[in-house]
Amino acid sequence: MIDSKVVPLFKKAAAEDESPTMTGPAKCLACEHEWQTVAPVGTCQLECPSCESTRATFKHPCGVPVGELVRECNCGSRIFYVTPNGVHCWLCATTQEF
């Protein structure tokens, strides 16, 4: 007997379209341009539509709870790469130990 069950061929593509996104105000740290944007959850760096720099980010990024102590670089950035030598600021490119 022939199995009549239909299996969608493009199921994976449809699932990717349903991946979660973040929406909100973004700001470019290079030129100060602000705009509303949508990006996949986990996106840290955004491309600025004004100056095309990739030094833009959500104004209210997903992160630690409000009131939690957060390391802030002297340049104002709170985004770092964690390396064996310390934390590396993605905005001013300094490596810092603590």
> Quick count: other Cβ atoms within 10 Å of Cβ 49?
12
Site membership for Zn ion, residue 33 (CB under 5 A):
yes
Cα→Cα distances 37→52, 62, 78, 88, Å: 14, 14, 20, 26
Site membership for Zn ion, residue 77 (CB under 5 A):
yes
Given the complex with Zn ion, which of 43 and 77 has the nearer CB atom? Answer: 77
Size of the site for Zn ion (CB under 5 A): 14
Site membership for Zn ion, residue 51 (CB under 5 A):
yes
Chain residues that interact with Zn ion, rule: CB under 5 A: 28, 30-31, 33, 48, 50-51, 53, 73, 75, 77, 89, 91-92
